[in-house]
Structure formats: structure tokens, C-alpha cells
Amino acid sequence: MKLGRNVLVLSSTVFFILVALFSWYYLFPLYLKELGATESQIGLLYTLFTLSFTLLQLVGGVLSDRIGRKKCIVWPTYVYALALFFTALSGNWLGASIFYLAGNLASAVQMPSFTAMVSESTERKGQAFSIFETFVAFGLATGPLVGGLLLPFISIRGLIFVTSLVVLLSGFIRHLLLEERNFSKESGTRFSLSGPFPKPYMIFLLAGSLMYLIFSLTSNGPFLTLFGSEMLGLKKSTINFYFAAGTYIGALSSLIFSDLPEIVGARRILGLCFFAIPTFVILWSHTGHPLFFFLALPFVHWAYITYQIVLTDLSPSDKRGTGIGLFGTITGLVGSAGPFVGMRFKLHLGPRAPFYLALVLGIAAIPFLLRSEKTTPPPSQTGPLY
């Protein structure tokens, strides 16, 4: 399986960064509280963290098309390492939050270039994104386990220091080994927001916005955790195990079936994910059986794989970074409304209401997904020219 150096370098460095980051990520609110932040301040800070990561993806996409993928990956990696170092060094919640926010901004700038570089590094997009997202999933699931083992010996501040060193080392590796491909400075300077994208891209943008609402009402939002705790009486450790197990299953499935998007088609898999994610969550909420929870999360994993394949296919090659960044900004902003809307549904219609809302949105997204298919222009009727 020849995926190219860039895919392997990005996948491996992302894995180690995520293992280090998620060894303390879920505990960061408690760390801020220990530094003196109130619960209301923490809530506001996390809103700012989310918005910063969303808004700068468009900026990162434009820069990616103008100065290249590699620069937009390597230099923000160094900035992210410094930001984490000063986050750990700060002795008060405000300083730690400012530097953590700066790290979030640097990470946001990178995101469009990650997707673009993976797409441009090989003709086997399905395999490339499957392998990349497999490493991401393993990192997300392994990080909390590593943190649980290290926390008796290392403080949260110490883990943040370690993460800054891992990120810095990853920056050096990326600087040395990543290769810039399929990038033209001339084409990157012609960007304009006035009608730069074809109609299928804009239709897929609608489908993607609904997709991120589905994520925020299920896997990425608070509702699975709240339902498991309030309605099923699950312990925190059990809920963590559910998420870790489902994530590992998803990672293994994409590792084994990495050719599936190219065989079945990315859109077909993504459409199935729109329906399957809320359906399995609803079945879990009614039965309480963990099997349905474990089945829902792999479809989340496959949704992340396949939407990137479709997105990079629909974004024009000379504006690919911008197209990815615009997609991330708009869908992220729409998705950020999910927890607020879902909570209103939960309070007025019951604890399962967010999951049924996600199912309705999933069904509504499928027609947009189908209509985003590229149309092949009809053959010329004038005959060959000699």
C-alpha cells in the first residue's frame, strides 16, 4: 500500500501529538478551576476556544493556497508548541487561557492544509484518509488511557509541558520530511470569494452543515454523556470506556477496510453515516445496550473519512485550501449551535429529543449529499476537429 511520505509523516506525528494532548485535554477545565477560574468563566472560555478554532480555518485555507501546504503546517506547529509551553508556565487561569487560545488559533490555521496535503499526496484518496483518520482515532482513544496511567506520577501542568515537547519534536520532523506537492503560487494568488466554487460544492456545504449539527447532537456534544449518566446511571469511568471502545472499533474498521470508499463510494458511505449515527444512538437510549453505542461511533469515524474525500474532490485544485477552510468555518459555526438547540429540545421534549432531532437532520442531509454529485458535461456534438 503506497500512500506516500506525507501521509505517513502527518499520520504518525498527529498520533503522538493527540496521545500527549488527550492525556490531559478532558481535565483542562479542572486545571483552570484550580488556577482560580469560576465555572461561568470556564464556560465563556470554552465558547471562545471553539469559535477561535472555527473562524481561523478560512484564514488557514487562504494562506494554504497562497504560500503552500507545508509552511501552513510546519510553522503553526512551532507556534502551537510555544503556546502550550507558556500555557503550562502560566501561574493564573487568565494567562493559561490566553496561551491555550493562541495554540487553538495555530491549530486552526493548520487544518485545511492537513486535508489538502493528504488529498494531494496520493491518487488513493480513500486509503489515505482512512489511514490518516485511523491514526487520529487511535490517538484520541489512547491519550486518556495514557493520562490515567501517568497522572499519579505527573501533574496536569507536567503533562502540558510534555505535550509541548512532543509538538515541538513533531514540528522538526514535519519540517525535515514533508514534501510540497501540486502547489502553484501563481494559481494561489488568484483567489476571490466572488463565486469561486461550483454548485456541487455549495450544495455539499449545506449537507456538511447538517452533518456537523448531527455530530454536536450526538458524538461531539454533551447529550450522550448526560443521557448515560442521568438516565442509565453509568459511572464516569464506564462512559469513558464506551467512548474509547467505540473509537477503537472505528479505527480498526478503517484500518481493515481502507479500500471501502473507493469500492463502494464515499457519498454512499457518508449518506449511510447520516442515518446510522442517530439511529444507533436512539436504539442505545431505548435499550441501554452498549452494543448500539459501540456501533454508532464507528460511523462517526467513517463520516470524517468520507466527507474529506468528497470535499477535496469538489474543491477546485487551485483553491483547495480555501474551499476546505471555508467549509470548516461555516460548518463549524452552524454546528456550534447544536448543543444550545439540543438542550432546548431536551428540556422541553425529553432526554431523547436531541437524538431524534439528529435523525431528522440526517434524513434531510441525504438529498443535499446526492445532489452534490459532480455532473459530467455532455460530449461535444460538433464532431472531432482535424
Residues 213 and 204: their CA atoms lie apart, in Å, by 14
Tell me whether residue 16 is in a domain. Answer: yes
Which structural domain, as residue segments, surrounds residue 282?
198-373
111 & 172 share domain = yes
255 & 357 share domain = yes
Helices (H), 198-350: 199-217, 223-230, 236-256, 260-264, 266-287, 290-314, 320-335, 338-349
Q: Which of residues 131, 146, 179 is at a domain's end?
A: 179
CATH, residue 325: 1.20.1250.20
Confidence (pLDDT) at 271: 97
27 & 119 share domain = yes
Tell me whether residue 269 is in a domain. Answer: yes
226 & 360 share domain = yes
Tell me whether residue 368 is in a domain. Answer: yes
Residues 307 and 266: their CA atoms lie apart, in Å, by 7
Confidence (pLDDT) at 33: 86
φ, ψ (nearest 5 deg) of residue 322: -65, -40
Confidence (pLDDT) at 85: 97
Environment class of 336 (CB within 10 Å of its CB; exposed 0-12, middle 13-18, buried 19+): middle
Q: What is the pTM assigned to this prediction? A: 0.81
Amino acid at 142: T
Tell me whether residue 191 is in a domain. Answer: no
E strand or H helix that includes residue 363: helix 353-371
5 & 111 share domain = yes
51 & 161 share domain = yes
Tell me whether residue 185 is in a domain. Answer: no
229 & 361 share domain = yes
Confidence (pLDDT) at 98: 95
Amino acid at 197: F
Confidence (pLDDT) at 375: 60
Q: Which of residues 110, 144, 179 is at a domain's end?
A: 179
117 & 32 share domain = yes
172 & 319 share domain = no
Tell me whether residue 157 is in a domain. Answer: yes
216 & 130 share domain = no
Domains: count for the chain: 2
202 & 174 share domain = no
Q: Which of residues 144, 179, 214 is at a domain's end?
A: 179
Confidence (pLDDT) at 187: 46
Tell me whether residue 335 is in a domain. Answer: yes
* Grid coordinates given for 362: 440526517
Per-residue model confidence as pLDDT tens for the chain (386 residues): 466 889 999 999 999 999 999 888 877 887 888 899 887 788 778 778 877 778 889 899 999 988 999 999 999 999 999 999 999 999 899 999 999 999 999 999 999 999 999 988 877 888 888 889 889 989 988 888 888 888 889 998 999 999 999 999 999 999 999 998 765 554 444 444 445 578 899 999 999 999 999 998 998 887 887 888 889 988 876 787 888 888 889 989 988 888 898 899 999 999 999 999 999 999 999 999 999 999 999 999 999 999 999 999 998 877 888 899 999 999 988 988 888 888 889 889 999 999 999 999 999 999 999 999 866 544 444 444 33
209 & 272 share domain = yes
CA distances in angstroms from 325 to 198, 207, 255, 319, listed in the order given? 16, 16, 27, 10
Tell me whether residue 222 is in a domain. Answer: yes
Task: Find all residues with CB under 8 Å of 120, minimum gap 6, and list them.
Answer: 69, 181, 182, 183, 320
